[in-house]
Amino acid sequence: MKQFNKTKIAAAVGTAALAMSLAAPANAAISLGGDNGWEVTYGGFINLFYTQSNWDFRSAPSEDSSHLQEGLLPAFHTFTVKSPTVNGLTGTGQITFAVDSSGAKGVNLNKGGADIDMREVFFNVEGSFGTISAGRTLALFQRQAILKDYTLFSVGAMAGPDTGGTSLGRIGFGYVYPDFRTRFVYQTPNMNGFQVSVGVFDPDESNGFSATPGGLFSPGVVETDTPQFQGEATYNTAFGGGNISAWVGGIWQEEKVRLTGGSDDVTVWGIDAGMEVTYGGFNVGGHYYTGDALGTIFLQDVGAFTCTATTCTEADNDGYYVQGSYTFNGKTKLGVTYGQSTQDYSGFASPDVNSMWTVGIYHDVNSWLKLVAEYSDQQSNLLHHSTTALSHDAQTFSVGGFLLW
């Protein structure tokens, strides 16, 4: 993966998060100029895939679908400004917006996925003390899982046979989407490969669901009067012919739910850990998470907790993925990956399980063109939501590519 290195991936998922630090890396984008020590750069990419999928729903007719679909990543456009260093301080500011290249079937222009999404708006102040970052970018909890995921630059799991916008990659099939969240974060200096990041985040108000599955809470029912906290520790080191990357992370939040018979507190917590080892052309890695009321795809999505008239019960969440690859001649990677996410509800006989295995070929034609061919087999066992036809088996073949700058 010589040509599409860490700095290229930085333009894809948020330059600051992906570079494993809060400071935007050099050479990750095109220089637009500057004056008096200031630097302005612009980077991004566009992608599109042809997908052929077969869907077998448990409560609806099966469906074969031919679709033009962007992958897990939409088109990214990142503008970064970097200050001169004054009195030991260096500032950076970044704005990233994402544009969908595909829409849902049977809808008009700019509907069903063809939208603009403001992903990042943040600034950093860096000095000998470390880095302070303020604004919106990729969150800390499970961000390493998505940044290391092979399906980051491909399709992976599909959200449906005819949907617009991005695919899921491995989101919900091995980790919960960290999302781009507003926060204040402090990151330590790099201490021989070891760094710690801790942050105060805008709390998440769950859409949850009531005692009746599918009955969403109305506005004002969920109250968050304390912030959300996230943290991450990473370690990166090189050895003869290879390198090792390891991480642990965590999240904690409390919220109050008003019920017909009173109120109850819901505690959201989670921990995750993972490791990646590269030696020569070989790469192997894995990730595991566990916690309560995390949700499966998005943080605290439907089913994160259940409530009666007087009490709420958090669901148990856990998941993992493992992956391995070999890169030929520094340009062509053959990879295989498997993962699953589980959500276990109190009072239900069986948990919800999403699982998927994927095999793909990822070829760097040159420094700005990447081609991908991939096959994924996904299963979603959303038992008590079966009336919405979400329980399914699906097989998807996809072929497409990226242009990066």
Is 30 a member of any domain?
no
- The span from the CA of 29 to the CA of 199, in Å, is 27
SS (H, E, C) 309-347: CCCEEECEEEEEEEEEEEEECCCEEEEEEEEEEEEECCC
Beta-bridge partners for 332: 328, 363
Q: What is the pLDDT along the chain (405 residues), one digit of tens a residue?
A: 444 444 444 444 544 344 433 333 334 578 888 788 999 999 999 999 999 999 998 878 899 999 999 999 999 999 999 999 999 999 999 999 999 888 888 766 555 665 778 899 999 999 999 999 999 999 999 999 999 999 999 999 999 898 888 999 999 999 999 999 999 999 999 999 999 999 999 999 875 554 443 444 554 578 899 999 999 999 999 999 999 999 999 999 999 988 887 889 999 999 999 999 999 999 999 999 999 999 999 999 878 888 888 888 899 999 999 999 999 999 999 999 999 999 997 666 678 899 999 999 999 999 999 999 999 999 998 655 444 557 889 999 999 999 999
- The span from the CA of 186 to the CA of 76, in Å, is 26
Is 260 a member of any domain?
yes
Which residue range(s) make up the domain with 207?
A: 49-67+125-404
Backbone angles phi, psi at 164, to 5 degrees: -105, 175
Between the CA atoms of 145, 149, 154 and 157, what dihedral angle is there, to the nearest 10 degrees?
Answer: -70
Distances (CA, A) of 402 to 110, 135, 327: 22, 28, 18
For 225-256, letters b (16+ CB in 10 Å) and e give: eebbbbbbbbebeeeeeeebbbbbbbbbbbbb
The confidence score (pLDDT) of residue 326 equals 98
Is 25 a member of any domain?
no
For 182-207, letters b (16+ CB in 10 Å) and e give: ebebbbeeeeeeebebbbebebbbbb
Is 379 a member of any domain?
yes
Q: How many CB atoms lie within 10 A of CB 150?
A: 24
The confidence score (pLDDT) of residue 39 equals 95
Per the CB < 8 A criterion, the answer to whether 196 and 249 are in contact is: no
The confidence score (pLDDT) of residue 220 equals 54
Is 316 a member of any domain?
yes
pTM for the model: 0.89
Place of tokens 């049977």: 106
The confidence score (pLDDT) of residue 192 equals 96
| Domain tally, the chain | 1
Is 186 a member of any domain?
yes
CATH of residue 216: 2.40.160.10
In the DSSP assignment, the letter for residue 202 is P
Per the CB < 8 A criterion, the answer to whether 49 and 66 are in contact is: no
Is 3 a member of any domain?
no
Is 39 a member of any domain?
no
| Count of helix runs (H) and strand runs (E) in the chain | 3, 21
